[in-house]
Amino acid sequence: MPESDSNEFYVGYHPTAPLGVARRTRSFVIAALLCTVGLALVLAKGFGPLPRATFEFGSLRTFEGTISTTPYPALHVPRPGVIDGAPWTSRYHIVAPFKFGADAAVAEFDGKHVRLKGTLVHRDGRTMIELVPESLEEIPGLALSPEGPQSLGEHSLIGEIVDSKCFLGVMNPGNLKPHRACAVRCISGGIPPVLCVRDTDGRAEYFLLVGENGEPMNKAVLDYVALPLEITGEVERLGDQLILRASAESFRIL
Amino acid sequence: MSHAYRAVGWNRQKKVYDRILTLGVILFLGLFMGVGALLRPNATAETLMIRGFGAAAFLLLHVILSIGPLCRLDPRFLPLLYNRRHMGVTMFILAALHGLLSLIQFHGFGDVHPLVSLFTASDSYGSLAWFPFQPLGFGALVILFLMAATSHDFWLANLGAPVWKALHMSVYFAYALLIGHVSLGVLQAETSPWLALPVALGLAWVLGLHLVAAGTEARLDRDVEGVEFEGLVDVCAVHDIKDKRARIVCLDGERVAIFRYDGKISAVSNACQHQNGPLGEGRVIDGCITCPWHGYQYEPHNGSSPPPFTEKVPTFDVRIRQGRVLVNPDANAPGTEVSPALIDFADKGAPDA
């Protein structure tokens, strides 16, 4: 076995290390710390960019509007200065704290004018409200009658199913395989699933996923979350949102 | 050495070691998270922490796995080995922080218990591309926990060296799980070569280092083909052994350390009772064979630690004949007293002290 040229011998419990050993170890430690700096910089650089997606954690706002409960809970708020042909309400999906949908919290308020408090989650012009359930109250005022769906025909779309809450900003990144388990948990808990479709420039469009009869399809999509998918179904415009009506049988893993 | 158990047997060298270790960890985490936040202002604190703790633990595991073979190849690395267990516990703490934050972030606050979710959120166990990577990390964390929890000499003494050693060798299984955890997890989402390349190089480094060290070890394990004389095997010349040092030979598959000291020759098993350190790479200090790993000591003529210590290693009968060292390949029971062979002036050969 190789041996140190010198007669020095390191014993850890001795008060000091032999001079030569201490000198060599010092050089090694300096080199190791320099490697640590280099690796920290390389690995920090290695991760990809993160989109601008915001969860206004700790900032509660008050909203007024009309509740709808299908296919997923939403708050409809009149848009100021509506241009002809544009949707006249904004539709904010409502979810409960943590990894749960707000179905139970809003069930008795369907079609009613309400005031509620919540935290905004937003990305790419899409906005969601994380509801403070106990703040929800019916208030006097005229309930809105939101627009009905407008069919845009049958399409096959390629994208990734994500949970709308994390993807819009509660987590960043809120998609791809490392986030898959969380997305499954959120969708299983009632968070609306959306199909995120990107164009060739990487711009995302979001399609709220519902069953063929417009029903929520949280449980049906769980096996497909975060996988590269092609889904064929009828695309509809509902206010300012796009909806994809499809059967899970049409899901094709790519 | 110690004959009574204390939570941490601090000494000056350990304190220096731990200060440098802490500095390294803080430096890595500070730079990784700080630069990460600057490069990606939209990153959340929990994302930076999960990534930072995970990367730091994985990097530190590579350092830990490198220390053993490096010391086999070059004893100048031995100061790194002395307090390696503190590095192991530090690595476990970093890994546990990564695991705990990930469990809360990805599996907590949902409709099933986080630990149930960990194993059931994704069931693509039949697909390599979509294989759930988080249970792999959990498995590694369990192993690292068991190692950290039993790292104290109390457990070494009570579990027994073979069980303890086997448990701690499972770090290689944990490493394999973590390679899977990283490759099937973050590397599938982050395609930058700045991540994949360091992981690949790290794996090649650990494997290469172990293969080279194993090759060196294999040469040691070739049985001595010396001439037998009255049941004893001629292993080397007296002058082949430096004063207060040893020559390691393999007899009937067992490594024997033959020490020369104070004009005498004694032979003991090469494996220290503490952690199987190579006694033959140690030296005789204050009349005792001193293990190069943690300084455990044994008296050469009986293989016993000096009182009040109680460790014992097997001894071997030894003789000198015409300047040659002869060793009986049958080991005596640990702690058996054996008369050292005395070196005559005529046996010394070339001066080599």
Q: Do residues B129 and B18 both lie within one domain?
A: yes
Q: Do residues A159 and A129 both lie within one domain?
A: no
Give the span between the Cα atoms of A174 and A168, in whole angstroms: 8
The answer to whether position A120 is within a domain reads yes
Q: Which residues of B touch A223 (CB under 8 A)?
A: 123
Q: Do residues A75 and A118 both lie within one domain?
A: yes
Tally A–B CB contacts below 8 A: 182
Minimal-distance CA residue of chain A relative to B193: A46
CATH number of A200's domain: 2.40.50
CATH number of A77's domain: 2.40.50.140
The answer to whether position A48 is within a domain reads no
Ramachandran angles phi, psi of A15, nearest 5°: -60, -40
Distance from CA of A36 to the nearest CA of B (A): 6
Q: Average pLDDT in the B2-22 region?
A: 80
The answer to whether position A4 is within a domain reads no
pLDDT tens column, A7-26: 789 998 998 888 888 898 99
pLDDT tens column, B171-181: 999 999 999 99
Burial A164-200 (b: 16+ CB within 10 A, else e): bbbbbbbbbbbbbbbbbbbbbbbbbbbbbbbbbbeee
The share of chain A scoring above pLDDT 90, in percent, equals 70
Domain end position, chosen among A110, A138, A166: A138
Q: Do residues A127 and A160 both lie within one domain?
A: no
- My answer on whether omega of the bond before B308 falls inside 30° of 0, hence cis, is yes
The answer to whether position A128 is within a domain reads yes
The answer to whether position A35 is within a domain reads no
pLDDT category of residue A2 using cuts at 50, 70 and 90? very low
Q: Do residues B187 and B291 both lie within one domain?
A: no
Q: Is residue B353 over pLDDT 50?
A: no
pLDDT tens column, B201-233: 999 999 999 999 999 888 877 777 777 778 899
Q: Do residues A116 and A169 both lie within one domain?
A: no
Q: Which residues of B touch A21 (CB under 8 A)?
A: 76, 79
Q: Do residues A245 and A155 both lie within one domain?
A: yes
Residue B314, domain extent: 228-347
Minimal-distance CA residue of chain B relative to A185: B110
Q: Do residues A156 and A247 both lie within one domain?
A: yes
Most confident of B42-51, B74-83, B148-157: B42-51
Domain end position, chosen among A138, A165, A186: A138
Least confident piece of the model among A31-45, A126-140, B211-225:
B211-225
Report pLDDT for A85: 63
Q: Do residues B172 and B129 both lie within one domain?
A: yes
Q: Do residues A154 and A219 both lie within one domain?
A: yes
Give the span between the Cα atoms of B191 and A244, in whole angstroms: 30
Q: Average pLDDT in the B117-132 region?
A: 90
More confidently predicted of B128 and A245: A245
Structural domains counted in chain A: 2
B51 contacts A47? CB cut-off 8 A = yes
Chain B from 221 to 250: CB within 8 A of any A CB: 245, 248
Minimal-distance CA residue of chain B relative to A52: B42
A172 contacts B42? CB cut-off 8 A = yes
Structural domains counted in chain B: 2
Q: Do residues B210 and B294 both lie within one domain?
A: no
Q: Do residues A125 and A82 both lie within one domain?
A: yes
Q: Is residue B64 over pLDDT 50?
A: yes
Q: Which residues of B touch A191 (CB under 8 A)?
A: none
Minimal-distance CA residue of chain A relative to B60: A36
The answer to whether position B16 is within a domain reads yes
The answer to whether position B102 is within a domain reads yes
Domain end position, chosen among B199, B220, B241: B220
pLDDT category of residue B191 using cuts at 50, 70 and 90? confident
Q: Do residues A162 and A238 both lie within one domain?
A: yes
pLDDT tens column, A206-252: 999 999 999 999 999 999 999 999 999 999 998 888 999 999 999 99
User: What's the ipTM?
Assistant: 0.91
The answer to whether position A184 is within a domain reads yes
A33 contacts B130? CB cut-off 8 A = no
Quote the tokens at residue B176: 């394999």
Q: Do residues A154 and A246 both lie within one domain?
A: yes
pLDDT tens column, B293-325: 999 999 999 999 999 998 999 999 999 999 999
Q: Do residues B90 and B234 both lie within one domain?
A: no
Q: Which member of A2, A9, A28 has the closest CB to residue B73? A: A2
Nearest to B43 by CA among A59, A196, A53: A53
Quote the tokens at residue B304: 């016993």
Q: Do residues B214 and B141 both lie within one domain?
A: yes
B220 contacts A188? CB cut-off 8 A = no
Q: Do residues B202 and B242 both lie within one domain?
A: no
The answer to whether position B352 is within a domain reads no
The answer to whether position B3 is within a domain reads no
Q: Which residues of A touch B280 (CB under 8 A)?
A: 1
CATH number of B290's domain: 2.102.10.10
Q: Do residues A163 and A233 both lie within one domain?
A: yes
Q: Is residue A45 over pLDDT 80?
A: yes
Q: Which residues of B touch A182 (CB under 8 A)?
A: 105-107, 121
B110 contacts A98? CB cut-off 8 A = yes
Domain end position, chosen among B200, B220, B240: B220
Q: Which member of B106, B220, B292 has the closest CB to residue A182? A: B106
pLDDT tens column, A80-118: 766 666 667 888 999 999 999 999 999 999 999 999 999
Q: Do residues B328 and B206 both lie within one domain?
A: no
Q: Is residue B246 over pLDDT 90?
A: yes
The answer to whether position A206 is within a domain reads yes
Q: Do residues B209 and B243 both lie within one domain?
A: no
B122 contacts A4? CB cut-off 8 A = no
Report pLDDT for B344: 82
Residue A106, domain extent: 53-138
Domain end position, chosen among A102, A118, A138: A138
Q: Which residues of B touch A130 (CB under 8 A)?
A: none
Q: Do residues B87 and B192 both lie within one domain?
A: yes
pLDDT tens column, A46-75: 999 998 999 999 999 999 999 999 899 999
The answer to whether position B7 is within a domain reads no
pLDDT category of residue B8 using cuts at 50, 70 and 90? low
Report pLDDT for A4: 40
Report pLDDT for B7: 63
The share of chain A scoring above pLDDT 70, in percent, equals 94
Q: Which residues of A touch B112 (CB under 8 A)?
A: 185, 188
pLDDT tens column, A153-202: 999 999 999 999 999 999 999 888 999 999 999 999 999 999 999 888 87
The answer to whether position B4 is within a domain reads no
The answer to whether position B200 is within a domain reads yes
pLDDT category of residue B288 using cuts at 50, 70 and 90? very high
The answer to whether position A24 is within a domain reads no
Q: Do residues B118 and B202 both lie within one domain?
A: yes
Domain end position, chosen among B186, B220, B254: B220
The answer to whether position B1 is within a domain reads no
B300 touches chain A (CB under 8 A): no
Q: Is residue B125 over pLDDT 60?
A: yes
Report pLDDT for B352: 46
Report pLDDT for B346: 63
Q: Do residues A200 and A168 both lie within one domain?
A: yes
